[in-house]
Structure 1
Amino acid sequence: MSAANDTKFNSEVFLLTGMPGQENVYLWIFITFCMMYSIAIIGNVLILFIIKTDPSLHEPMYIFLSMLAITDIGLSISTMPTTLGIFLFNSRVISLDACFAQVFFVHLFTYTESSMLLLMAYDRFMAICNPLRYASILTLPRIAKMGLVSVLRTMSLVFPLPFLVKRFRYCQCNILSHSYCVHQDVMKLACADITVNIIYGLAIKILAVGSDSLLILLSYGMILKTVLSVASCTECFRALNTCVSHFCAVLIFFIPDIGLSVIHRFGNSSSHLLQSLMGYVYILVPPLMNPIVYSVKNKHLRSRILRVFFK
Structure 2
Amino acid sequence: MQRRTFIKNSTLFAAVVSTNGFIHFDGHHFVGDCETTSDILGPYYRPNSPFRNNLIIKGQVGNPIELSGIIKHKDCITPYKNAKIELWHCDSKGVYDNTSSEYRYRGTSYSDENGQYSFKTILPVPYDAGGGHIRPAHFHLMITAEGYQPLVTQLYFSGDAHIPKDMYASSKDAKNRILDTETLKDGSKKVMYHVSMSKTLKAEAAAIDKLTGIYTDVKDKSKKIELFTKNKCLWMKNEVFGENFEYVGNNTFEYPAMPKGMYATLIFEIMPNEAIKLTYNYVDDDLVKHSSVSIKEF
| Larger helix share, 1 or 2 | 1
- Larger C-alpha radius of gyration, 1 or 2? 1
TM superposition score normalised by structure 1: 0.23
| Larger strand share, 1 or 2 | 2
Greater RCO (Cα-Cα under 8 Å, separation 6 or more): 1
